[in-house]
Amino acid sequence: MTAHAGRAIGARTRLVGLIGWPVAHSRSPAIHNAAFAALGLDWCYVPLPVPPGLAGAAVAGLAALGLAGANVTVPHKQAVLPYLIGRSDEVGVLGAANTLVVRDEAGQPAVYGHNTDHAGFVRALADAGIDAAGCRAVVLGAGGAARAVVYGLLQAGAAAVSVLNRSPERAEALVAELGGGHDSLTAGPLEAGFLGRQADQADLLINATTIGMEPAAGASPWPDELPLPRRMAVFDLVYQPRRTRLLAQAEAAGALAVGGLGMLVHQAALAFELWTGERAPLEAMWQAAAADE
């Protein structure tokens, strides 16, 4: 059931959606439609399945069909970039857009790109009582999510960030691209001995790999034989399942354990605010995000 059930969708309804492939599994429609309902906004959010190779047509379609904007997910976050009229600074740095806003410019629709992942991550950290300023962080992974996390940590003033990845050359490339002016940003392999030494120095561990995500929910990036330091907070970006094996390991060690749902909600809230200009109703969005659990 959608938040629009029982309400008329008419000529004034503003439409936004999610461009991706696949999109059927996404929680974004539920989160955004709950937010529109909570504020009584005549808006509707729909999944927009766009096959690979059609990102440009999708961006042109948003403008032509009068949508107010869209979220963008795999595999189009990079592919949409050449088709945008403009983009925020962080889209340039991250090389990816997760939110598109259609603006009216002298009667013509113009599509702009934004990225709300890094700010969503930092807000979720703050919600959990973790201050990124001055923290010493170990980031696992070097894909798109890791890139947003590292950028968010550097923007928030982290003292040191170590990026560990199964393919170390990807971690090195990420550090080379984001590391200008940050001597404290380093790269290495995601291997037990190295991870243990990095974790000994860290007060925050972030999993930005897909390890532990359904359907392989029994896996963890933290090796069983390695003691997990109690003073190290653990933030797992994976939100399906909500309680990952890594979070269970952290809890068993007595460490603070934070799941990825908060980041999902906050990046959605920031997109919502870009589209509507209204303050996002976080509680309604949280409830919708957690509803399937």
C-alpha to C-alpha distance for 71 and 262, rounded to whole angstroms: 17
From the CB of 269, what's the least distance to ligand NDP, in Å? 11
Residues 192-221: x where in contact with ligand NDP by CB under 6 A, - otherwise, as a string: ----------------xxxx-x--------
H/E element, 247: helix 245-252
User: SS3 for 122?
Assistant: helix
Interaction of residue 167 with ligand NDP, rule CB under 6 A: yes
Site string for ligand NDP, 88-127 (x = CB under 6 A): -----------------------------x----------
Task: Judge contact between 154 and 126, C-beta under 8 A.
Answer: no
Site for ligand NDP in 32-91 (CB under 6 A): none
Q: Is 201 a catalytic residue?
A: no
Among 14, 166, 242, 243, binds ligand NDP (CB under 6 A): 166
208 token code pair: 């930005």
Least Å distance between CB 262 and ligand NDP? 8
Select the residue interacting with ligand NDP from 37, 175, 204, 238 (CB under 6 A). Answer: 238
What single-letter amino acid sits at 106?
A
CA gap 252, 272 in Å, rounded: 36
Q: Does 270 bind ligand NDP (CB under 6 A)?
A: no
Q: What distance in Å separates the CA atoms of residue 38 and residue 284, rounded to the nearest whole number?
A: 7
How far is 62 from 113, CA to CA, in rounded Å?
A: 13
Contact (Cβ atoms closer than 8 angstroms) between residue 111 and residue 59? yes
- 282 counts as binding ligand NDP under rule CB under 6 A: no
Per CB under 6 A, does 152 bind ligand NDP? no
Residue 50: CB atoms within 10 Å: 25
With CB under 6 A as the rule, give the number of residues binding ligand NDP.
24
Binding site for ligand NDP (CB under 6 A): 117, 141-146, 165-167, 170, 190, 208-211, 213, 237-239, 260, 263-264, 267
